[in-house]
Amino acid sequence: MSFVDWHLQGLNISACNCAWGCPCQFMSLPTNGNCQAAVGIRIDRGHFGDVQLDGLAMGGVFTWPEAIHLGNGQAQPVIDVRANAQQREALLKIMSGQETEPGATIFNVFAATFVKVHDPVFARISIEADKASRTATIAFDGIVDFNVEPIKNPITGEPMQVSVSMPEGFEYDRAQFASGNVRTTRSPIKLDWSGRHAHLAEVNMTGLGVIHRRA
């Protein structure tokens, strides 16, 4: 099957309600029995066919009543208000797993687990992040706010450096693990927690999957 040629490069900041490290990252069941998440993606360079996506952002809030692979999830997509009609359509197609090899990206995998996708919101998205220091502040214009900070040693209070490599992963090649605080303010999906799992990862992905580094 032939797919539209697309490519995203940038930064993904994700926060979920699991304990630091997130057992879901390692094929284990979620900490609390259910999964909830907020995700912000800054696109530094990108295209969908002839549609340029440089400088835009997207993301969303998500919830599943049990482990993600058991389904029955809900999603609230959020698209950068600066995107024009063609760019909005392109980003929504990528986020919904279209024009993608089955199972090749997190968008395509997660799309199969949703029973309800709320109407997309077009909003101002602010993403300030420093992957090296494991810090980030993300705001989806009154919909959700979340921030990320380093995991701290409970004895010394010193920030910890934790990174994970997934050379066959469908979300990232390498991620910096951190601690996240999330709260929705205007969304049908209600999220509210602090001091739970978060990660920052380079986005380098096409419809055929993550472009992994070679040793």
pTM of the model: 0.94
Token pair, residue 97, equals 């797993």
What residues does each domain of the chain span? 6-203
Please tell me what DSSP assigns to residue 171. S
**Residues 45-85: tens digit of each pLDDT:** 999 999 999 999 999 999 999 999 999 999 999 999 999 99
Nearest residue to 177 (alpha-carbon basis) of 145, 152, 140, 206: 152
Rounded-to-integer distance, Cα 77 and Cα 187, Å: 10
**Residues 75-126: tens digit of each pLDDT:** 999 999 999 999 999 999 999 999 999 999 999 999 999 999 999 999 999 9
Residue 148 exposed, middle or buried by CB count within 10 Å (0-12, 13-18, 19+):
buried
First-residue to last-residue Cα distance in the chain = 30
